[in-house]
Amino acid sequence: MKKVAFKTLGCRLNQYETDAIASQFQDNGFKLVPFNKEADVYVINSCTVTHQSDHKSRNFISQANRKNPDSVLVVTGCMANNAKNELEGRDEINYVVENDHKSSVFSLVEAHYNGEIFHPSKLNYDLFSYGSTDKGFHTRSMVKIQDGCDNFCTFCIIPSVRGRAVSRPIQDILENVKSVIAKGAKEVVLTGVNIGRYEYENFKFDDVVEQILDLDGDFRLRISSIEPDGFGDKFLGLLNHPKMTPHLHLCLQSGSDPILLQMRRMYSIKRFMEIANKIRSYRPDFNITTDIIIGFPGESDQDFEATCNVIKELQFGHVHAFKYSIRKGTRAERMQSQVDERIKTQRSEVLREIADDVKFQYRNGFIDKEQIVLVEKTDGENAKGYGEHYVPVEFKGFKLKKNHFYRVKIKNITTDTEPVLIGEQVK
Amino acid sequence: MRSHKVIEIRNLTPSTYVIKMEKKDFTFKTGQYITLGFSGSIDRREYSIYSSEQDEFLEVLIKEVEDGLVSKKLKRCKPGDYLDVDGPFGHFSLKEDEISEKKFLFIATGTGISPIHSFIATHPNMDYQLLHGVRKEEEAYEREAYKKNKYILCTSREKSGDFHGRVTEYLKQNPVSSDTVCYLCGNCHMIYEAYDILEKQGINLGPIHTEVYF
């Protein structure tokens, strides 16, 4: 039996796509092995959002080649689009597959083993033709509803590598959701590059969410990363639905209005605050997590302080902060006043401390409360998973099973940088 | 991306010009932008569309940037040259249900007037007032395109305009009624300041209608 290993970098959309490709390999007789083990096929689903992502992707390419130089090495994902020539010039890589042909990675490898060598550009082009994800790496079942982005934020390379915004037909989405529920999925996660801008015929994002929530079945719905500009009040109203999880990853990027304008973001801090406060008015413990870019060109000490203040005020459940890095071809590449790396590093440290502190405060608030935890790992008596707020929980119980919901009373919290709630099953 | 043949270059000032191109089957929503560069060149820049949705040609308004790479080259293009057009992009658009119902205030600086020109050319009957901030009167690009009583030229470096000073100063002296829908397009500093002023005057801007020019 041939062995295949995967490494996924970056966003939830990449994770979804890897899950689907991994399932297809296994459905066709391949054995899934960890990436650090010897495999016949390595698939690296890369990311290029920052310099660091590029660096990591390159490291994993080298790692795979070291593990088995005779393996079939496939590099796909955003770096495959952005650094195609460089990657195609590396002898150890057999195939560089751009995002729009990613769903055909298995066909490419299958053809390779059948002695048919063809260029990835000849593969099927379909952004939504991924199959089932049931043999993927996640307990949660991700469903792709959209791809690409038309926002063209000045720092962002993603529209160049993922292409223009395209929305999947709503009927296909509903069929996909029904199918994963029928196969036992308990948590459905909507993914895409800019899902709030979903638009297919007359259906907008809130219509998709509403129709999924109306489906029968014992499942809950999670929205992954979303921009604050694409949705309206109807969507916010749906956050009250019993099947909707109280968590949104709402991308802020900066707490300073002048910087948001330079980033070509389409909201002000006031608007972001209004959204956050409205969400918390439905549910005060609603988990709002976010992304922050540190050291965008022109970011002054005052701008940075404003960002820190917003984090403190909104008590984000988690802040994914990263240092700005120039992406070739973006508008921000040509901006004056690039911020010195040392300043970015100092600001990162300050921000991390604040973010860790508010995260702990937020999670600490769950002590003595209950969470409905979807178990991802268990030995029957101890289990790990995520509660509805997308906070990690470890708990003890009886005859615990993976991919089942359990009501858990939270008793304690760890004091790590990634605090975990500790609880007991409520019988 | 497709190639569009240049029909005409219209010089409006020594540094500002309009490129008129074939439209072919290109469609867009007024307010959107394209990226433009010489056919085959990797150097491209973003420009808001200046012409209307119904025009049979495509126009962009460009200011030559000192030390700029693309704007300087584009200024030298001639009728018959081919330019690569990609797009349309952007969400700086009018809401269909507001166009004939609402009163609009458009605030633009410099060539930031380009998408506003497209708005007004596409919907000539809309109820609007346009504040255009420039340094000198010569930068009142094709002001005859706007109804006389609707266009207010704010000149900061000379007294030749309808108002001497920046658009933000005009706004402070001439408060805007709260039922006005405002669209802002131009440099970041103006947008930031104007947004603040409008908000203090009680304008509920809701989701921002802004397009930043750098």
- What confidence tens digit (pLDDT) does each residue in B95-122 have? 999 999 999 999 999 999 999 999 999 9
Query: Which amino acid is located at B6 in the chain?
Result: V
With the CA atoms of A189, A194, A195 and A200 taken in that order, what torsion angle do they form, in degrees rounded to the nearest 10?
-140
Query: How many degrees, rounded to 5, is the angle at CA B212 between CA B206 and CA B213?
Result: 160
Domain boundaries, chain B: 2-89, 96-213
CA distance A260 to A343: 19
Q: Domain count of chain A?
A: 2
CA distance A384 to A85: 42
Q: Is A401 domain-assigned?
A: yes
CA distance A333 to A329: 7
Query: Each residue of A241-262: pLDDT tens digit?
Result: 999 999 999 999 999 999 999 9
Cβ of residue A151 closer than 8 Å to a chain B Cβ: yes
CB-count exposure of residue B154 (10 Å: 0-12, 13-18, 19+): buried
Of A150, A271, A331, the CB nearest to B207: A271
- pLDDT over 90 for what percent of chain A? 86
What ipTM describes this predicted complex? 0.81
CA distance A266 to chain B (A): 6
Q: Is A287 domain-assigned?
A: no
Q: Which helix (H) or strand (E) is A303 found in, with range?
A: helix A301-314
Residues from chain A contacting residue B208 (CB–CB below 8 Å): 266-268, 271
Q: Provide the pLDDT for residue B43.
A: 85
Cβ of residue A138 closer than 8 Å to a chain B Cβ: no
> Within 10 Å of residue A217's Cβ, how many Cβ atoms?
15
Region B96-213: CATH code: 3.40.50.80
**Best B42, B46, B212 residue to mutate vs chain A (most A CBs within 10 Å):** B212
Q: Provide the pLDDT for residue A150.
A: 86
- The mean-pLDDT minimum among A77-81, A231-235, B84-88 falls in A231-235
Q: Provide the pLDDT for residue A213.
A: 98
Helices (H), A68-104: 78-82, 84-88
Q: Provide the pLDDT for residue B66.
A: 84
CB A166 within 8 A of CB A126: no
- Are the beta carbons of B91 and A257 separated by less than 8 Å? no
Of B89, B192, B207, the CB nearest to A267: B207
CB B183 within 8 A of CB B173: no
Of A151, A229, A261, the CB nearest to B212: A261
Q: Is A198 domain-assigned?
A: no
> Within 10 Å of residue A70's Cβ, how many Cβ atoms?
8
CB B111 within 8 A of CB B91: no
CB A376 within 8 A of CB A400: no
Which residue of chain B is at minimal alpha-carbon distance from A165? Answer: B89
Query: Each residue of B133-171: pLDDT tens digit?
Result: 999 999 999 999 999 899 999 999 999 999 999 999 999
Pick the more confident residue, A125 or B206: A125
Q: Provide the pLDDT for residue B208.
A: 55
Domain containing residue A75: 3-122
Q: Which of B168, B161, B183, B208 is nearest to B112 (CA)?
A: B183
Which residue of chain A is at minimal alpha-carbon distance from B69? Answer: A334
CA distance A262 to A334: 12
Q: Is A35 domain-assigned?
A: yes
Distances in whole angstroms, Cα of residue A123 to Cα of each of A32, A78, B10? 23, 17, 46
Give the domain CATH number at A35.
3.40.50.12160
- Are the beta carbons of A268 and B91 separated by less than 8 Å? no
Region B2-89: CATH code: 2.40.30.10
CA distance A22 to A96: 17
Cis peptide, bond prior to residue B115, ω within 30 of zero: no
Query: pTM for the whole thing?
Result: 0.87
In chain A, which among 23-52 make CB contacts under 8 A with chain B?
none
Q: How many CB pairs under 8 A join A and B?
A: 40
Q: Is A45 domain-assigned?
A: yes
- pLDDT over 70 for what percent of chain A? 100
Cβ of residue A300 closer than 8 Å to a chain B Cβ: no
From chain B, which residues contact A within 8 Å (Cβ)?
46, 89-91, 188-189, 191-192, 195, 199, 206-208, 210, 212, 214
Which residue of chain B is at minimal alpha-carbon distance from A330? Answer: B45
Give the domain CATH number at A421.
2.40.50
> Within 10 Å of residue A340's Cβ, how many Cβ atoms?
9
Q: Is A91 domain-assigned?
A: yes
Q: Is the pLDDT of residue B40 over 90?
A: no
